[in-house]
Amino acid sequence: MVLVTVKANEGQGRFRSSALTNTGCVRKLNRDAILERSKVGLWALADGMGGDQSSGIGAAIIVRALAQLDTFDSAFNARRAVRGALTKVNLQLLTRALEERLENVGASVVALLARDDSYACLWTGTSRGYVFRSGKLMRLSRDHTRAQELMDAGQLTREQAAQQPDLQQATRAIGANTRLDIEATNGDLRTGDRFLLCSDGLSVVGEADIALALALASPQQAASRLIEDALEAGAPDNVSVIVVDTMAD
């Protein structure tokens, strides 16, 4: 399985973006897949689960499905179209896994939609979304892991969770269960907003360092710095990033 990268109309219209991916310091193959469609306001990143031969299938199929979506006439229709595409992929992956007796075809995914004066971030699993606004980093997504559930319940601190890697496995994914739970958040879009989508391979980089990287001048510089920081920290997993800038109309 090879990395899937789809780029279309990069740098056009109101948005400019840059995406980079790296196998990391431990893995032999890259199971991540990334999508850039700046002109239509759609970016996505999918991260295959596990480390065997079938673990990149889900990520590749997710990105290819989202790349086929038509131009959106409204933010509402864009969000509905992405949900619909992911729902179809979920059933497709479950069927394929059953017919071909495959394991680990599931994938985490995070997608950013931007249209007119609003944005939406949709995700399931452990891929993350952030916005860097007025010099401050804000997390848009919430990890779907047992560790996060225990932290939300007040039974585990962030420091304690970091010391228990078994609790960091994704509890939701595309292609993992017949019931598909996709979480979403939305907000106002402002000129100067810089968004980050990343696979969980970037989790070795602290949020303070992520903010420093996102403060760099261009999305290309920011993406490069983030990958460099992850590699310097040991990058035990594939690491992928998409940095998106909101320009003036």
DSSP state of 204: G
Percent share of the chain, pLDDT over 90: 66
What confidence category does residue 10 fall into, taking pLDDT thresholds of 50, 70 and 90?
very low
Residue 135 has pLDDT above 90, yes or no: yes
pLDDT of residue 76: 82
What confidence category does residue 160 fall into, taking pLDDT thresholds of 50, 70 and 90?
confident
d(CA 69, CA 190) in angstroms, rounded, equals 25
Tally of structural domains, the chain: 1
CA-wise closest residue to 69 among 111, 102, 100, 18: 111
pTM for this prediction: 0.91
Q: Per residue in 12-68, pLDDT tens?
A: 479 999 999 999 999 988 999 999 999 899 999 999 986 555 667 999 999 999 999
Range of the domain at 64: 4-246
pLDDT of residue 71: 76
CA dihedral 3, 79, 249, 245 (to 10 degrees): -40
If phi over 0 gives left and psi between -120 and 50 gives alpha, with beta otherwise, what is residue 107?
beta
Amino acid at 117: D
d(CA 207, CA 179) in angstroms, rounded, equals 32
Q: Per residue in 189-217, pLDDT tens?
A: 999 999 999 999 999 999 999 999 999 99
How far is the CA of 192 from the CAs of 32, 133, 134, 224, in angstroms? 28, 7, 8, 19
Instruction: Collect all residues with Cβ–Cβ distance below 8 Å to 6 and sequence separation of at least 6.
Output: 34, 35, 36, 37, 63, 64, 67
pLDDT of residue 1: 37
Residue 178 has pLDDT above 70, yes or no: yes
Work out the mean pLDDT of the chain and round it to a whole number.
89
Instruction: Collect all residues with Cβ–Cβ distance below 8 Å to 57 and sequence separation of at least 6.
Output: 1, 48, 93, 96, 102, 105
Residue 75 has pLDDT above 70, yes or no: yes
What CATH number corresponds to the domain at position 158? 3.60.40.10
What confidence category does residue 156 fall into, taking pLDDT thresholds of 50, 70 and 90?
confident
CB atoms within 10 A of CB 148: 18
